[in-house]
């Protein structure tokens, strides 16, 4: 009968010896009287790359020392002697930061870096998630996390040649230059609206949201309704506020959702200051393809943390909207090296010679 058991250092030395003799994993399992899957897991645990002096080829070999070190590390982490166990200052910082700033474990590390915090213990983001799942914090559970401990869902991608139920109001995202996809150039945005939806609390007031692809900078504008002319007026007001030349430098293109509120493509693109000149280039996503403006869609998810579905936007003040925008733009982003969108956005403005 083959059993599952924890291997000892003596077992690991024997495995190394038998492998050098040319024995197969199943033969090794038979000699140790363990299940063959135990041996395969052990070989993976102790694997390392070794240069063969005869052929000068890099081959994967097994090290009992590496395997034992990983095994002992695993025991230390899962047992009562947790890495965070004696660092009460770090545990308290993680808990209070997530609860007070409504952020993820990754953002906690970002805030610590920005604030210059130093702790006795260093933890990875996966380890923090694991400790939260184990219930090691007094007031912090997975329910308090931004996604409540659930993994981000995958988008269902549609084929580009699929016939659309409604033709785009202007140029399709298929005509968008490839360099925009790379996020190397500043000034390319994604846009959509956030609204209350159906039900008793349905209101016409909504939020126009725009996210810059490189810096993740967010702009949230309250609009009285989701009519196409209203969205044009919102861009007009923003252009007047920034100035036509500054607007063109910051908004080189905007990729909008294919909703009817963005149907006035010509009005979106044309400057309200000088109607003979363009102010930006507009592209439209395919229907039901929110993944094509994934940066904006992800940020809309952050907005929903402040204004859940069913929110009566008629009762939401401009101060509350500004507060949500400020929270998003000052949120440490792992993808930005734990800088905030606001910091990176201002850096890009300075590179363009524009005062922040």
Q: Does pLDDT of 175 surpass 80?
A: yes
Q: Determine which of 188-202, 223-237, 270-284, 337-351 has the lowest per-residue pLDDT on average.
A: 188-202
99 found inside a domain: yes
What is the count of structural domains for the chain?
3
- Report whether 282 contacts 252 (CB < 8 A): no
pLDDT-based confidence at 242, cuts 50/70/90? Answer: very high
Task: For 266-277, write each residue's pLDDT tens digit.
Answer: 999 999 998 889
- What value does the mean pLDDT of the chain take? 86
Given 55, 78, 101, which residue is the final one in a domain?
78
| CA 66 remoteness from chain centre | 33
What pLDDT band is residue 162 in, cutting at 50, 70 and 90?
A: very low
pTM of the predicted structure, to 2 decimals: 0.69
Check residue 14 and give its pLDDT: 93
CA 189, chain centre distance (Å):
17
Domain check: are 134 and 200 in the same one?
no
The better pLDDT of the pair 284, 114 is held by 284
Mean pLDDT within 292-296: 94
| Shared domain check, 295 and 257 | yes
Mean pLDDT of 154-183: 71
Q: What average pLDDT does this structure show over 251-266?
A: 95
**pLDDT-derived band of residue 82, with 50, 70 and 90 as boundaries?**
low
Is the pLDDT at 56 greater than 90? The verdict is no
Domain range for 20 is 9-78
Distance of CA 289 to the CA centre of its chain: 18
**Does pLDDT of 151 surpass 90?**
no
CB-based contact 273:244 (threshold 8 Å): yes
> Do 182 and 250 belong to one domain?
yes
Both 96 and 56 in a single domain?
Answer: no
Residue 3 lies in a domain: no
Classify 221 in phi/psi space as left (phi over 0), alpha (psi -120 to 50) or beta: beta
Average of per-residue pLDDT across 83-92: 78
Q: What is the mean pLDDT of residues 281-293?
A: 93
CB burial readout 255-283, b (16+ within 10 A) else e? bbbbbebbbbbebbbbbbeeeeeebbbbb
Environment class of 29 (CB within 10 Å of its CB; exposed 0-12, middle 13-18, buried 19+):
buried
CA 329/CA 350 separation, integer angstroms: 17
Which pair of tokens denotes residue 94?
């993680």
Domain presence at residue 165 = no
What dihedral do alpha carbons 274, 275, 279, 283 form, nearest 10°?
180
In this structure, the answer to whether residues 50 and 112 fall within a common structural domain is no
Asked if residue 263 lies in contact with residue 270, where contact means CB atoms within 8 angstroms, the answer is no
Residue with the bigger pLDDT between 198 and 8: it is 8
Position 161 pLDDT exceeds 50: no
Same domain membership, residue 97 and residue 215: no
Residues 126 and 249 in one domain: no
131 and 258: one domain?
no
Same domain, 39 and 65: yes
Q: State the average pLDDT over residues 348-353.
A: 94
What local confidence, expressed as pLDDT, does residue 78 receive? 54
Whether 59 and 107 map to the same domain: the answer is no
Q: What is the spatial distance between Cα 267 and Cα 272, in angstroms, rounded to a whole number?
A: 8
Query: Looking at the structure, do residues 262 and 136 belong to the same domain, yes or no?
Result: no
278 and 193 in a common domain: yes
Secondary structure (3-state) at 91: helix
Percentage, residues of the chain above pLDDT 70 = 86
The string of pLDDT tens digits covering residues 185-229 is: 999 999 999 998 665 566 899 999 999 999 999 999 999 999 999
Q: 99-122 pLDDT, tens per residue?
A: 888 889 999 988 998 888 888 888
Identify any residues that bridge with 193 across adjacent strands, giving them in sequence order: 208
CATH number for the domain harbouring residue 274: 3.30.420.10
Residue 167: the pLDDT is: 59
């Amino acid at each position: 009968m083959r059993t599952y058991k924890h291997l000892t250092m003596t077992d690991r030395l024997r495995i190394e010896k038998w492998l050098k003799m040319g024995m197969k994993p199943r033969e090794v399992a038979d000699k140790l009287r363990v299940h063959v899957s135990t041996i395969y897991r052990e070989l993976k645990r102790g694997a390392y790359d070794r240069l063969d002096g005869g052929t000068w080829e890099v081959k994967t070999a097994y090290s009992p020392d590496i395997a034992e070190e990983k095994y002992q590390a695993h025991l230390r982490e899962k047992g009562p002697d947790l890495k965070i166990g004696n660092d009460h200052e770090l545990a308290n910082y993680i808990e209070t930061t997530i609860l007070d700033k409504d952020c993820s474990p990754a953002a906690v590390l970002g805030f610590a870096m920005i604030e210059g915090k130093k702790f006795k213990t260093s933890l990875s983001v996966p380890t923090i998630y694991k400790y939260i799942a184990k219930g090691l914090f007094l007031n912090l559970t997975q329910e308090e996390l931004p996604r409540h401990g659930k993994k981000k869902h995958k988008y269902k991608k549609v084929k580009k040649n699929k016939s659309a139920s409604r033709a785009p109001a202007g140029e399709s995202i298929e005509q968008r230059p490839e360099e925009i996809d790379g996020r190397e150039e500043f000034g390319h945005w994604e846009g959509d609206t956030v609204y209350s939806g159906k039900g008793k609390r349905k209101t016409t007031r909504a939020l126009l949201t725009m996210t810059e692809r490189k810096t993740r900078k967010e702009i949230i504008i309250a609009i009285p309704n989701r009519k196409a002319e209203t969205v044009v007026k919102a861009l007009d007001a923003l252009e007047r506020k920034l100035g036509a030349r500054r607007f063109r430098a910051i908004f080189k293109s905007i990729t909008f959702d294919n909703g009817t509120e963005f149907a006035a493509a010509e009005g979106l693109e044309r400057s309200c200051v000088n109607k003979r000149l363009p102010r930006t280039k507009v592209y439209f996503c395919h229907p039901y393809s929110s993944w094509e403006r994934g940066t904006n869609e992800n940020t809309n998810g952050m907005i929903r943390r402040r204004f859940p579905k069913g929110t009566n936007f008629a009762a939401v003040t401009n101060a509350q909207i500004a507060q949500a925008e400020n929270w998003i733009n000052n949120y440490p982003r792992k993808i930005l090296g734990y800088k905030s969108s606001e910091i990176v956005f201002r850096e890009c403005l300075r590179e363009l010679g524009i005062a922040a």
